[in-house]
Amino acid sequence: MKTGILKDLEKAFNISPDEMKRVIRDFHLEMEKGLSGKKSSLKMLPAYIDRPTGGEKGSFIALDLGGTNFRVLEIRLHGNGRIMMPAVMKFALRKQDITKDAGALFGFLASSVKTFLRKTAHGACRDVNLGFTFSFPIDQKGIASGSLVTWTKGFEAAGVIGHDVVSLLKCALAKEGLAHIHVTALANDTVGTLMARSYGDRSCDVGVIIGTGTNACYPEKMSKVKKWKGAAAPESEMIINIEWGNFNKLKKTLYDRQLDASTDNPGKQILEKMVSGMYLGEVARRVIADLGRRQLIFPGQAFRKIKAAGTVRSEDVSAIEGDGSASLSATGAVLRRCGVKSSSRAERALVKNVCAIVSRRAARISAAAMAAVITKMDQKLQRKHTIAVDGSVYEKHPGFSRNIEKALKEVLGSKAGKIKLVLSKDGSGKGAAIIAAVASK
């Protein structure tokens, strides 16, 4: 019975090499439509900046907003790809900070900056250039101007959608007496990750985030950005923020459809709902709860708690997949926290397999999307490419990066050797400073 259950789940969640190739073709079509200004699930947003030369220098403040924590960093660029980060402070965002309104959210950001400046050498009122990483879909109007298109990742603050987030930040900084802080650049964490790695690695041409949310960016020739209305040399390049979390040409399971219907943005962010840390635990929970409802696992137990959305978290999935104990004790501990009072080793093994099936699919979808971006730039894979990746799922989930690399080899063959994946730790924060440096030139 258990073998049959696994076979059914593996079939439902499988992303075969042929399916990956279909995803790549559809991804290319959506990219082209997005670049042309046509309706597409990929927004393909211009970031108003190209990659750095590696020679940029200076001292900058960087802000990084996009998850459960807000970070303020001091970054020093010394040229030749050398970066120093003398000071970093992390501020936990409370629910009221992200769900009330623009005043509450940006007031919190500004007061956090003030605290950072007071506790570091930047306390004096000297002019400081600041780069702002704002990791949500932005309709940018310039390097330091952009309005929020939509909230993601649980943020709901009123009065921000459709408004210039740089203006909101400037007003909040002024209220805190920080008018000497100049916001010179705006970007999302994906662009920041690309900028941070490419500062010292000119082969780096893709930035990817796989964490609470997921997204990617790459440099595109201006001649191919058909929707661009400004002046630009056709062979010059600009980084394009793909917003790939919204890609919707993916095969959905029953569990995906149920999860999507339960969210506050049904029909949107489909790739993100299959890949990102915000949803991986919920996909696994829905599978486990369904097996229990059908009495295929934990017979005779009500286990009401695991029937509640959000009970199983992404970190739980990581803990279960990383459980190497003979009795799968860590898996048992997670299940007990989720209301399953007792479980056999065979049941714990089944749960571990469920988590592996869900996360392996996420990695293979990520690989297909990465392959699509690389082959969009270099159809025959004639040159080397570095993909800079940041995010908790990529960094911490057991076997996730290996599953991506394996899938790339399956779909690209020997040419996958041209692609190097590197963890770009703190890329979004460092990148904000590099963007500010490029912009200040």
pLDDT in tens, 295-329: 889 887 766 778 888 899 999 999 999 999 999 99
Kindly tell me if the per-residue pLDDT of 233 is higher than 90: no
pLDDT (mean) for 349-361: 97
Strand, helix or coil for residue 371: helix
What pLDDT is recorded for position 302?
66
What pLDDT is recorded for position 80?
84
What pLDDT is recorded for position 309?
86
CA angle 259, 265, 268 (to 5 degrees): 85
* Amino acid letter, 311: T
Give the model confidence (pLDDT) of 371-400 as tens digits.
Answer: 999 999 999 999 999 999 999 999 999 999
Per cent of the chain over pLDDT 70 is 97
Give the model confidence (pLDDT) of 156-207 as tens digits.
Answer: 999 999 999 999 999 999 999 998 899 999 988 899 999 999 999 999 999 9
Kindly tell me if the per-residue pLDDT of 231 is higher than 90: no
- The distance in angstroms from the start CA to the end CA of the chain is 65
Q: Active site residue: 40, 41, 135, 314, which one?
A: 135
Nearest to 206 by CA among 105, 195, 214: 195
Assign domain 48-187 one CATH number from 3.40.50.620, 3.30.230.70, 3.30.910.20, 3.30.420.40.
3.30.420.40
Kindly tell me if the per-residue pLDDT of 222 is higher than 70: yes
**What architecture is domain 1-46+201-425?**
3-Layer(aba) Sandwich (3.40)
Q: Is there a contact between 188 and 243 (Cβ–Cβ < 8 Å)? A: no
Residue-averaged pLDDT of the chain: 92
Owner of token pair 């030749």: 80
The values of phi and psi at residue 157, to 5°, are -55, 125
Strand partners, 130: 61, 183
Strand order from edge to edge, sheet including 385-390: 45-46, 237-241, 214-221, 204-210, 385-390, 419-423
Sign, CA dihedral 77-387-242-257, equals negative
Within the chain, which residue ranges are assigned CATH 3.40.367.20?
1-46+201-425
Per cent of the chain over pLDDT 90 is 69
Strand, helix or coil for residue 390: strand
Pairwise pLDDT comparison (64 vs 273), residue with the higher score: 273
Helix/strand/coil percentages in the chain, nearest 5: 45, 20, 35
pLDDT (mean) for 405-409: 98
Pairwise pLDDT comparison (139 vs 214), residue with the higher score: 214
427 to each of 24, 192, 216, 365, 431, how far by Cα in Å?
A: 26, 6, 13, 22, 6
Kindly tell me if the per-residue pLDDT of 3 is higher than 80: no
pLDDT (mean) for 216-240: 87
Pairwise pLDDT comparison (122 vs 139), residue with the higher score: 139
How does DSSP classify residue 252? P
What pLDDT is recorded for position 2?
58
Cα–Cα distance for residue pair 80/64, rounded to 1 Å: 24
What pLDDT is recorded for position 330?
96
Per the annotation, the verdict on 71 as an active-site residue is yes
The values of phi and psi at residue 17, to 5°, are -55, -40
Reported as a pLDDT band with limits 50, 70 and 90, residue 137 is confident
Q: Active site residue: 40, 41, 71, 256, which one?
A: 71
Q: Which long-range contacts (CB under 8 A, 24 or more apart) does 157-165 make?
A: 157/97, 157/98, 157/99, 157/100, 157/101, 157/102, 157/104, 157/105, 158/100, 158/101, 158/102, 159/101, 159/102, 159/103, 160/102, 160/105, 163/102, 165/132, 165/134, 165/138
Q: Active site residue: 189, 256, 260, 316, which one?
A: 189
Cα–Cα distance for residue pair 81/52, rounded to 1 Å: 9
Kindly tell me if the per-residue pLDDT of 126 is higher than 60: yes
Within the chain, which residue ranges are assigned CATH 3.30.420.40?
48-187
Query: The tokens of 367 are what?
Result: 């690989």
Give the model confidence (pLDDT) of 57-85 as tens digits.
Answer: 988 999 999 777 899 999 899 988 888 88
Kindly tell me if the per-residue pLDDT of 111 is higher than 70: yes
Kindly tell me if the per-residue pLDDT of 288 is higher than 80: yes
Per the annotation, the verdict on 286 as an active-site residue is no
Owner of token pair 């907003």: 65
What pLDDT is recorded for position 1?
45
